[in-house]
């Protein structure tokens, strides 16, 4: 079991936890219906560097909108998208952290109106088409092969032990759904994520330009309860945005486990801790299990 995990503390902790909650009559036994596991996606199940995969999808859409409308093409962020100036998008976020929200607000407006009017089915078709041929910019593999092999094995291991796996991601719910079954064995009804509001008109659900959920930080536990109606007993994340979900999972009466993926493998993936500083501190202070990509995984990608 878990062949891509190195024998060591992370793998042992997983195996021992699963053994404890599945041993009938044991003190840590948890009924199968309460074996709920939640996984962040970006940086936890699939690669999030050099940029979120969804940003690639978005930039292509903005370029498409620019190509169809010369007036838009002259404006940010459409001009940046059409010109392949991906740095603009990164800079918008950096500026935001430095107290200048101008570009991020412009970007947000573009994001929320990017799919306006499309039915949910049309949107799903676009996502599926994107994943048919889009490649990671540096890893030399399709995005659909950028899921972490050890985490996919973990999903199967939990499932084989009566767990039900959910994704709880800050990424777009309807961006992930078309590929989660194929990549992770997780069907659309178990994908929780951020969303743009939908309108029901003429028998169809159409994308609006209103934000609905940003499924990050303390919103994650709220959305997990809203969707599942049970407190998870296993949670995996990789960033500060996952702390609340990990806390929630660890705060119940049943035995529970929190797993934090550490991106410390510059050779096989990327090495970074920006945005995970507090999560890494909390892992050390509160006994969350750390999965070091470098030390705990014998391979990273399938």
Smallest gap from Cβ 252 to a second copy, in A, equals 9
Minimum CB–partner distance for residue 164 and a second copy (Å): 8
Residues ≥6 apart with Cβ < 8 Å to 65: 72, 78, 114
Nearer to a second copy, 8 or 117 (CB): 117
Q: Which is nearer to a second copy, 34 or 85 (CB)?
A: 34
Specify whether the CB–CB gap between 115 and 54 falls below 8 A: no
Task: Find out whether 281 and 121 touch, Cβ atoms under 8 Å.
Answer: no
Q: Rank residues 150 and 172 by Cβ distance to a second copy and give the closer one.
A: 172
Nearer to a second copy, 59 or 219 (CB): 219
Token reading at 135? 């490649």
Q: Looking at the chain, list the stretches that DSSP marks H as alpha helix, in order from N- to C-terminal side.
A: 9-22, 53-68, 70-73, 78-82, 86-97, 102-113, 120-133, 149-160, 173-184, 219-228, 243-250, 277-286, 293-296
Least distance to a second copy from the beta carbon of 23, Å? 23
Look at the block and give the residue holding tokens 């050890």.
150
- Between 136 and 173, whose beta carbon lies closer to a second copy? 173
Q: Least separation, in Å, of the C-beta of 219 and a second copy?
A: 8
In sequence order, the β-bridge partners of residue 291 are 261
Q: Which is nearer to a second copy, 90 or 197 (CB)?
A: 197
Residues that bind a second copy (CB under 8 A): 33, 120-121, 164, 173-174, 177, 187-189, 191, 195, 197-200, 203-205, 212, 218, 221-222, 225-231, 244, 247-248, 250-251
**Please, which residue, 6 or 124, has the CB nearer to a second copy?**
124
Q: How many of the other CB atoms lie within 10 Å of CB of 83?
A: 12
Please state the closest distance from residue 105 (CB atom) to a second copy, in A.
25
Sequence-separated (6 or more) residues with CB below 8 Å from residue 166 = 36, 37, 38, 39, 186, 190, 191, 192, 224, 227, 228, 232
DSSP state letter for 147: B
The minimum distance between CB 262 and a second copy, in angstroms, equals: 23
CB of 123 to a second copy, least distance (A): 11
CA distances from 238 to 3, 43, 144, 150 (A): 21, 6, 20, 14
């Amino acid at each position: 079991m878990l062949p891509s995990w190195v024998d060591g503390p992370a793998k042992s902790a997983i195996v021992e936890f699963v053994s404890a909650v599945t041993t009938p009559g044991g003190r840590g036994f948890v009924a199968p219906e309460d074996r709920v596991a939640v996984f962040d996606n970006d940086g936890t199940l699939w690669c999030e560097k050099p940029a979120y995969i969804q940003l690639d999808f978005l930039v292509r859409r903005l370029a498409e909108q620019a190509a169809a409308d010369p007036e838009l093409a002259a404006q940010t962020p459409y001009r940046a998208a059409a010109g392949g100036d991906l740095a603009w998008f990164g800079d918008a976020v950096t500026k935001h952290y430095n107290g200048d929200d101008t570009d991020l607000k412009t970007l947000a407006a573009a994001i929320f109106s990017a799919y306006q009017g499309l039915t949910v089915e049309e949107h799903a078709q676009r996502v599926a088409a994107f994943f048919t041929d889009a490649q990671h910019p540096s890893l030399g593999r399709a995005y659909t092969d950028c899921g972490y092999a050890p985490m996919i094995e973990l999903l199967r291991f939990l499932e084989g032990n009566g767990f039900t796996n959910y994704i709880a991601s800050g990424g777009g719910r309807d961006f992930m759904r078309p590929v989660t079954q194929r990549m992770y064995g997780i069907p659309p009804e178990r994908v929780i994520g951020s969303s743009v509001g939908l309108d029901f008109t003429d028998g169809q659900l159409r994308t609006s330009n209103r934000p609905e959920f940003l499924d990050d930080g303390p919103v994650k536990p709220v959305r997990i309860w809203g969707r599942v109606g049970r407190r998870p007993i296993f949670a995996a994340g990789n960033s500060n945005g996952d702390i609340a979900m990990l806390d929630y999972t660890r705060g119940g009466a049943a035995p529970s486990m929190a797993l934090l993926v550490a991106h410390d493998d510059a050779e096989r993936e990327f090495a970074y801790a920006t945005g995970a500083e507090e999560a890494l501190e909390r892992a050390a202070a509160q006994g969350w299990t750390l999965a070091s990509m470098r030390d705990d995984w014998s391979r990273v990608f399938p």
